Structure 1
Amino acid sequence: MPSGSQAEAEVQRLRDQIAQMQANTVEQIAEVQRKYEELQQQLRVKAAAAAREATAAAREAEAAAMAVE
């Protein structure tokens, strides 16, 4: 059976291990959040470009329709 000091050392080792795991988890969450925000920004840029293209296409179609009249 481990002595008191051995048990205390084991408890401290486990606490340190838990603290490291928590720090790693926080880092992983921060990285996922950063990637999520980056992808959201990319989607916003693509959506804005698609909206501009759709507007331009609609204007061209309207101009073509008016030219036919």
Structure 2
Amino acid sequence: MPSGSQAQAEVQRLKDQIAQMQASTFEQIVEVERKYEELQQQLRADTAAREAEAAAMAAEQSRKYDELQLQL
């Protein structure tokens, strides 16, 4: 049977291990949040680019339509 000091040492070792695991988990959460924000920003940029492209295409189609109307 372990002595009191051995039991205390084991408890401390386990507490240290828990603290390391908590720190590691926190770091992983921070990294996931950072990546999530990065992806959100990229998505917003991609959406804005697609909207600009769609607006340009619509303007071009409108211009072509107007040209055709003038030819008639």
- Percent identity between the aligned chains? 65
Structure 1 residue ranges (4+ consecutive) displaced by more than 3 angstroms after TM superposition: none
**1:25-66 CA deviation, whole Å, 9 max, x = no partner?**
000000010001001101100100000000000000001001
**1:59 alignment partner in structure 2:** 59
Structure 2: runs of 5 or more not aligned: none
Structure of greater Rg = 2
Amino acid of the structure 1 residue aligned with 2:17: Q
Structure 1: runs of 5 or more not aligned: none
Q: TM-score, normalised by structure 2?
A: 0.94
- The answer to whether the aligner puts 1:23 opposite 2:23 as a matched pair is yes
